Amino acid sequence: MKQEITFRELRESGYTEKTISQEMQTNLIARIKEGKAVFEGLWGYEDTVVPQLKKAILAGHHINLLGLRGQAKTRIARSMVDLLDEYMPIVSGSEINDSPFEPISKYARDLIAEKGDDTPISWVHRSNRFFEKLATPDVNVSDLIGDIDPIKAATLKLPYSDERVLHYGMIPRANRCVFVLNELPDLQARIQVSLFNILQEGDIQIRGFQLRMPLDIQFVFTANPEDYTNRGSIVTPLKDRIGSQIFTHYPKSIELAKNITAQEAKISDEDRGSVYIPELAKDLLEQVAFEARESEYVDAKSGVSARMTISGMENLIAGAKLRKIETGSERTAVRLIDFVSVIPSITGKIELVYEGEQEGADEVAKLLIDRAIITEFEKRFPRVPKLEKEGVKTPFSNIIEWFDSNYLELNYTDVDADFIENLTSIQPLSQLMDEYCPDLKGSNRAFCMELVIWSLAISKKLDRSATENTFKFDAEGLSESYYGDN
């Protein structure tokens, strides 16, 4: 924390007064020239959103981030603070971060008039220059702009015409800071109108006061396109005053999605060391989200948040960790049967259309996992034919024939060695792996072997049934697939 100094010392130090827009532009340009990342942790936006953000900042625009839930809008808004100077000087005691060079409140003007060069100057760190407000229907003008404080007037024995009786709202207190207003369409239209002057002329008006208080604020708004019809809308004059509207989007590849999940999932170092996650398991989890975004049962306008796979990864780890504890093992690996643990993460993160509601959230979640399994399977193996020609073998014929006289039980509670031995006992399955995935070893190979068995069951070549801790695969019945109740 920098020590308090006087106005004279500030001037003599060579400090140059800058607007918040100039601060951000200067620091943005410096980062670009040094080859540093401007926004940390924004995977998949390098060629789309980030260039637009850079241009908006260089243009000095207020920004509206428009996109479905779970597209890092709030993360982008919060990262704007990193483009501010480390410390900002203010008149000590100012409620609205008055610049000593251009004071705008009566308090700061009177203090400078009284003390001149001896005016005390405090420093505000950039981490304290971020204000965030969630727009809800109960937000009013007093919350955002301010109002007359009758208690202050009575205590100080001041008339209501005195500027000192004003209570400043969140926006004046965010002077020379970044102010984020989330879910803008939820803000009532009459409240949105109160923002017109701030965005256009840069000043505010409180009640009947004749003052014009020029504020220096970087506004960032966020909104979900669906909110325009569900709950409200951004009034046209306000939208017209926002310089840049930038659309966000979901990751466009599995690799980018995996990077986001790895970055955001809360997994302890201990769990990372004792629970192994096969790469295919990570791919499969992300593919579930991709399938959900294309599903006819899921409301596409609502979107499928990246938080679904983040929560799913945490549940996967938790499921494997529970097995490790119950079996007394020191280590374990995530299995395909552990994806039962992901179902609560899916059902809590998707909005269903009418047809999905008829199916039921649990059944839709299971269907999405099945579709993801088939998609990942077909990236590595030939497609399973719906009909087999007599006398013509497919790559899976020997595996299917093995189940004519055998069955496979995959137990959730088996230790890893027993689980892998159970899978490798199917000789035709091992031969298939040697042909199509010869480089896979250990738990990665076991997970891929599971993938084959599950894909054959989903394709109605094997029967799959479940009890509390066991999945059984055989050639009898060929019933519909169920995941059990665990």
Interval 109-125: pLDDT, tens: 999 999 999 999 999 99
381 plus 414 within the same structural domain: yes
Structurally, how many domains does the chain consist of? Answer: 2
Scanning the structure block, which residue is given the tokens 């599971």?
Answer: 450
Q: Among 49-58, 148-157, 368-377, which is the least confidently predicted range?
A: 148-157
242 plus 287 within the same structural domain: no
402 plus 284 within the same structural domain: yes
242 plus 273 within the same structural domain: no
pLDDT band at 481 (very low <50, low <70, confident <90, very high): very low
Radius of gyration of the chain (CA): 30
Mean pLDDT of the chain: 90
Residue 357 has pLDDT above 50, yes or no: yes
Q: Does residue 258 fall inside a structural domain?
A: yes
Neighbours of 145 (CB within 10 A): 22
pLDDT digits (tens, 9 = 90+) for 25-75: 999 999 999 999 899 888 999 999 999 999 999 999 999 999 998 999 999
User: Global pTM?
Assistant: 0.85
Residue 484 has pLDDT above 60, yes or no: no
Q: Does residue 114 fall inside a structural domain?
A: yes
How many whole angstroms separate alpha carbon 39 and alpha carbon 80? 8
316 plus 400 within the same structural domain: yes
User: Which pLDDT score, from 0 to 100, does residue 89 have?
Assistant: 96
Q: What is the extent of the structural domain holding 202?
A: 5-247
Read off the CATH number of the domain in which 44 is found: 3.40.50.300
* Whether the Cβ atoms of residue 199 and residue 122 lie closer than 8 Å to each other: no
**More confident call, 206 vs 307:** 307
287 plus 427 within the same structural domain: yes
Q: Does residue 42 fall inside a structural domain?
A: yes
424 plus 301 within the same structural domain: yes
How many whole angstroms separate alpha carbon 464 and alpha carbon 478? 7
User: Which pLDDT score, from 0 to 100, does residue 163 have?
Assistant: 74
Q: Does residue 149 fall inside a structural domain?
A: yes
308 plus 180 within the same structural domain: no
290 plus 220 within the same structural domain: no
Which of 197, 212, 247 is the last residue before a domain boundary? 247
How many whole angstroms separate alpha carbon 28 and alpha carbon 256? 25
157 plus 277 within the same structural domain: no
Q: Does residue 230 fall inside a structural domain?
A: yes
- In this structure, are strands 218-223 and 178-182 parallel, antiparallel, or unpaired? parallel
pLDDT digits (tens, 9 = 90+) for 160-219: 667 777 888 899 999 999 999 998 988 888 889 888 888 877 777 776 666 677 899 999
209 plus 313 within the same structural domain: no
User: Which pLDDT score, from 0 to 100, does residue 482 have?
Assistant: 46
Q: What is the mean pLDDT of residues 411-440?
A: 94
Q: Does residue 485 fall inside a structural domain?
A: no
Residues of the chain with pLDDT > 90: what percent? 72
